Amino acid sequence: MRAKCLVVAFMLAAALLMVGGPAVAAKVVKVGIVSVLSGPVAVIGNGEKWAAEMAVADFEGIEGTKIELVVRDHAYNPGVANEKAKELYEKENVDVIIACPNSAAALAVAQQAKLHKKLFISTSAGTTDLIGKACNRYVFKWNYNDYMLATTVGILGAEKLGKRWYTITSDYAWGHNLLKHFTEAVESKGGKVVGNDMVALHTSDYSPYILKAMNAKPEVLALLNVGKDAVNSTKAAAEYGLKKKVTIVHALLFEPSIRGGGVATFAGDYTAAPWNWVVDNPGARDFADRYLKKTGERPHFMAAAVYSAVTQYLLAVKRAGGADTEKVIKALEGHTFKDMFANPGYVRPEDHQQVGKAYLLRVKQPDQVKGTDDYFEVVGSLPAEQAFGKPGQFGCKLNK
């Protein structure tokens, strides 16, 4: 009797397999995020992580495909970034790594991408070497770069704010690169940089440099630094009265720095950005409102760029019919898109730089701030072709 039951059960199972066919495991697309999630600049990385989570949750999906997000902290250390990229490509088998603030860290990840023949979409590093001497076909540069920041502020600033400039520059590769591009942009509009000081990172006392700048009698003071250095140098300019005599422009200024230093410290200052939550791109405000509800903050442009990069990567996988690296590269190269970050955005096939309109922003006065992180107003813009320069301008020769 027992044997007869087993035979019946076997026949039923076989019949079900014949009707339904063999079970097929879902394909998996793995998106890796490498960013800074610890230390004093974790505000950048946390925003990128939250934006990536939102992008995956919001994505329309790919039939038969599961999307997984794998996040790692590089602690703003290039050596750690290199190790995390190696781990993600080799052990986690991610299909792409996205984000990675810190230019040296991004250059290290770019080399791992080339070695493993996997994609890296750099959204957070400013170095133009990623689209220049260190470019390779597995790397795409999303969002801003140093040239875009310097050109937007330099050109629009020399036209609107004054011709006589003084610069205070962070003394490392990023600052040196910015100073070169700023000087070229200002001079292209008839302006002149009448003096510059190279200052060590994490300097607390900026008074000697502010006093030198005052003696040079500039119309515009450009602070080519970021984070705590931007806060300390701006506070020193206010303390010595220079802020009342000149216009201050920043190479890079985020909502978290204004939040930390106080809006009164930065009121009236200018900076450049590829995006702000007040721009009129379709979906920008909706994204910012949902991000605020999730995190209690408005998204900075680094976070918005990660949301865009994750979304556009997944759409490229969908167009390519899978996550095969070479097919996804072809799906991204020359692609034009419209999303909450860029309207339109374009991925240059020559050097893999994503380009879009660039904005000149001015920090509001304290009594103009109406809500959470409502710090900036848009006061100018440059078209993508002018802000990002020409394809190949930085010497990229993709190894196809």
| Mean pLDDT of the region 208-221 | 98
pLDDT at residue 394 greater than cutoff 50: yes
Paired residues of 220 in beta bridges: 165, 247
Q: What is the pLDDT of residue 10?
A: 52
**Band of pLDDT at residue 40, cut at 50, 70 and 90:** confident
CA distance linking residue 179 with residue 167, whole number of Å: 8
pTM: 0.91
173 against 319, higher pLDDT: 319
d(CA 116, CA 109): 10
The predicted structure's pLDDT at residue 8:
53
pLDDT attached to residue 26: 76
Q: Which pLDDT does position 162 carry in this prediction?
A: 97
Q: What is the mean pLDDT of residues 66-79?
A: 97
Lowest mean pLDDT among 20-24, 138-142, 395-399: 20-24
Rounded to 5°, the CA angle 259-260-264 comes to 65
**Confidence class of residue 400 from pLDDT cuts 50, 70 and 90?**
low
Q: How confident is the model at residue 226 (pLDDT cuts 50, 70, 90)?
A: confident
18 pLDDT higher than 80: no
> What is the arithmetic mean of pLDDT over 177-196?
96
| Phi, psi (deg, nearest 5) at residue 309 | -65, -45
pLDDT recorded at residue 177: 87
Strands 192-199 and 164-170: parallel
Window from 2-11, 144-153, 323-332 with minimum mean pLDDT: 2-11
Tokens coding 317: 């996988």
Can you give the pLDDT at residue 7? 53
Q: Which residue has the higher pLDDT, 40 or 362?
A: 362
Residues in the chain: 400
Q: Residues near 135 by Cβ (< 8 Å), separated by ≥ 6?
A: 129, 351, 352, 396, 397, 398
Cite the beta strand spans of the chain per DSSP E.
27-35, 65-73, 96-99, 119-122, 139-141, 164-170, 192-199, 220-224, 247-250, 270-273, 336-337, 345-347, 354-355, 358-363, 376-382
Is residue 1's pLDDT more than 80? Answer: no
* Local confidence band at 392 (pLDDT 50, 70, 90 cut-offs): confident
Cross-strand pairs, 195: 166
Per-residue pLDDT, averaged over 112-118, amounts to: 98
Q: Are strands 220-224 and 247-250 parallel, antiparallel or unpaired?
A: parallel
Helix, strand, or coil (residue 132): coil
pLDDT of 190 above 60: yes
At residue 398, φ and ψ (nearest 5 deg) are -65, 135
pLDDT at 11 over 60: no
185 contacts 128 by C-beta, under 8 angstroms: no
Whether 186 shows a pLDDT value over 80: the answer reads yes
pLDDT at 9 over 60: no
**Confidence class of residue 72 from pLDDT cuts 50, 70 and 90?**
very high
pLDDT of amino acid 184: 96
Residue 24 is predicted with a pLDDT of 58
What pLDDT, on the 0 to 100 scale, is given for residue 172? 85
The pLDDT value given to residue 17: 47
